[in-house]
Amino acid sequence: DVVLTQSPLSLPVTLGQPASISCRSSQRLVHNDGNAYLNWFQQRPGQSPRRLIYQVSNRDSGVPDRFTGSGSGTNFTLKISRVEAEDVAIYSCMQGTFWPYTFGQGTKLEIK
């Protein structure tokens, strides 16, 4: 199975400052169709997960442009350019390239 390792697991950030979350895969995530199915999800307290980024770097509709996904091969990153109070949440990466689909452990972002 593909193991996704996120770091850090806890991320205290000052409002207005940038934040970065790493997601490292135990193997390359390129599917036979040429796409890398690496998604990022945001789960606010008491809510269902919401997809922010799909296929590494594509931002979902309605997602603020301060969220950026990047990476290739086995290393992927979610960056928030300027953290706002509404960004307090758990962020999880997920790979949909290989079965079983797997998730990272989740990174808890809090305001310092």
Partner 1 sequence: EVQLVESGGGLVQPGGSLRLSCAASGFSFSSYWMNWVRQAPGKGLEWVASIKGDGTQKSYVDSVKGRFTISRDNANNSLFLQMNSLRAEDTALYYCTRDGRNSDSWGQGILVTVSS
Other CB atoms within a 10 A radius of the CB of residue 43 amount to 15
Q: Which residues in this chain contact partner 1 in the complex, by CB under 8 A?
A: 31, 37, 39, 41, 48-51, 54-55, 60, 92, 94, 96-97, 99-106
Other CB atoms within a 10 A radius of the CB of residue 23 amount to 28
**Cis omega before residue 45 (within 30°)?**
no
Comparison of 66 and 106: residue with beta carbon closer to partner 1:
106
Q: How far is the CB of 12 from partner 1 (least distance, A)?
A: 19
Kindly state the tokens that stand for 52. Answer: 């922010």
**Cis omega before residue 18 (within 30°)?**
no
Cβ proximity of 6 and 22 under 8 Å: yes
Comparison of 81 and 101: residue with beta carbon closer to partner 1:
101
Comparison of 18 and 58: residue with beta carbon closer to partner 1:
58
Q: How far is the CB of 14 from partner 1 (least distance, A)?
A: 26
Comparison of 16 and 100: residue with beta carbon closer to partner 1:
100
Q: How far is the CB of 2 from partner 1 (least distance, A)?
A: 11
